[in-house]
Amino acid sequence: MKKKNLNDFRKDINQIDSKIIELINKRGKASYEIGEIKKNRKQPIYSPDRESQVYARITSKNNGPIPDKSIEAVYREIMSACLSLEQPMTIAYLGPELTFTHQASIKKFGSSVKYLSCNSISDVFSEVEKKNADYGVVPIENSTEGAISHTLDMFVDSPLMICSEVHFPIKHSLLSKKVNMKAIKWVYSKSQVFGQCRKWIEKNIPQAKLREAASTAKAAEIAAKHDGAACIASEIAAKRYKLKVLSRSIEDSASNVTRFLIIGDHMSKSSGKDKTSVMFSVKDKPGVLHDLLSAFKGKGINLTKIESRPSKKKLWKYYFFIDMEGHIDNPKINKALKELEKKCHFLKVLGSYPKGI
């Protein structure tokens, strides 16, 4: 049998590509029909539970050599295009463009949806509540700097729910028009970013004064306009604002990850691998928080996070935020929450949703 040459392999790829295009469009037609059914039933177009199941299924079918992450990235764009056929979607995010929230939004929804940049976390919630956006993307916690208090506070009065989540690895770079780091007089970035790069800054640019910017993208914009200035931002920002990358991956922790929430007006269905988030305020008496948490332990429910925030309505009163494994449809979780409600001044289920990837 004759050994295949370069042209033979290219012909094979052309035939495979033709089949792929045919199948993608076939998938798009099926998605459109699903969208019509959902519209008639007045169901949400975006289904986080179904999305999670699709990712799990395609990776289970993947035998290589292409890695799972690459397969997921390809399918992200396929599903994004299919969603746009079902119904045009708008995603509000904490902007401006090129922020990590923007990048996390694209990781979640792909490039075929419309994006709406917002100036603050409050604005993201507001745009979704006013129906100017179908969903919003907001940061909730960083693996090294902890919870984003503004996002937690918004859930106290907002009717919106957590529909999904996405984890995004954070890689910071020092960007500037200058070539020599010793010539840098000022460094612009967000306060949280300075916290994530504290040790590197002290060691490598101790002479630089730190100045806070509204976002890493805004920091890059400022650095591009001022001689002697630098910023800490993503490499994507370097390309946009024509800055030099003086040093890459300057974050103090190699496992620096930010968790982002997808907020909307409905509860997600069970995907099989879910989390439930709740907030509550407790009656003020000794040992009450311990009693509440032991109720979850007695039912074998794994709590993955607990955070407290001071109430802005009453002095020395606190709200508690809890994440747990499992969906609210699980009888054990449902029963635990009913017991919890009896012991609380206030209880609010923020959502049950697929675990992020």
- CATH number, domain containing residue 74: 1.20.59.10
- According to the model, what pLDDT value does residue 221 have? 92
* Shared-domain flag, residues 76 and 37: yes
Residue 269 belongs to some domain of the structure: no
Token digits of residue 123: 């604005």
Residue 1 belongs to some domain of the structure: no
- According to the model, what pLDDT value does residue 106 have? 94
Tell me the one-letter amino acid at 59.
Answer: T
- C-alpha to C-alpha distances, 290 to 86, 295, 296, 307, 346, nearest whole angstrom: 47, 9, 10, 14, 17
Residue 234 belongs to some domain of the structure: yes
* Shared-domain flag, residues 350 and 302: yes
User: Which residues make Cβ contacts (< 8 Å) with residue 138, sequence separation at least 6?
Assistant: 93, 94, 101, 121, 124, 125, 148, 151, 154, 260, 261, 263
Residue 278 belongs to some domain of the structure: yes
Helix (H) or strand (E) segment spanning residue 13: helix 6-41
Residue 109 belongs to some domain of the structure: yes
Residue 252 belongs to some domain of the structure: no
Pairing of the two strands 173-176 and 135-142: unpaired
Residue 144 belongs to some domain of the structure: yes
Per-position DSSP letters for 265-298, written without gaps between them: SSPPPP-SSEEEEEEEEE-SSTTHHHHHHHHHHH
* Shared-domain flag, residues 26 and 78: yes
- Measured CA to CA, the distance from residue 305 to residue 80 in angstroms comes to 31
- C-alpha to C-alpha distances, 6 to 11, 16, 17, 65, 145, nearest whole angstrom: 9, 15, 16, 20, 52
- According to the model, what pLDDT value does residue 215 have? 87
Please give the backbone phi and psi of residue 60, each rounded to the nearest 5 degrees, phi first. -70, -25
- According to the model, what pLDDT value does residue 314 have? 64
pLDDT per residue rounded down to tens, the chain (357 residues):
678 888 989 999 999 999 999 999 999 999 999 988 988 888 888 899 999 999 999 999 999 899 999 999 999 999 999 988 888 899 999 988 888 899 999 999 999 999 999 999 999 999 999 999 999 999 999 887 788 888 999 998 899 999 999 999 989 999 998 878 888 999 999 988 998 999 999 999 999 999 999 888 899 999 999 888 999 999 889 988 999 999 999 998 888 899 999 999 999 999 989 999 999 887 666 666 777 777 788 788 999 988 888 776 665 577 889 999 999 999 999 988 888 888 788 889 999 999 987
Decide: 196 and 253 in contact? Cβ < 8 Å.
yes
Q: What's the CATH number where 287 sits? A: 3.30.70.260
Tell me which of 264, 295, 316 is where a domain ends. Answer: 264
- According to the model, what pLDDT value does residue 286 have? 67
- According to the model, what pLDDT value does residue 261 have? 96
Q: What's the CATH number where 242 sits? A: 3.40.190.10
- DSSP 8-state assignment for residue 246: E
Helix (H) or strand (E) segment spanning residue 60: helix 48-61
Residue 75 belongs to some domain of the structure: yes
Tell me which of 231, 264, 297 is where a domain ends. Answer: 264
- According to the model, what pLDDT value does residue 284 have? 64
| Whole-prediction pTM | 0.85
- Measured CA to CA, the distance from residue 49 to residue 229 in angstroms comes to 45
Closest by Cα among 76, 78, 132 to 104: 76
* Shared-domain flag, residues 223 and 287: no
- According to the model, what pLDDT value does residue 287 have? 67
The domain in which residue 279 lies consists of: 274-354
* Shared-domain flag, residues 178 and 164: no
Q: How many structural domains compose the chain?
A: 4
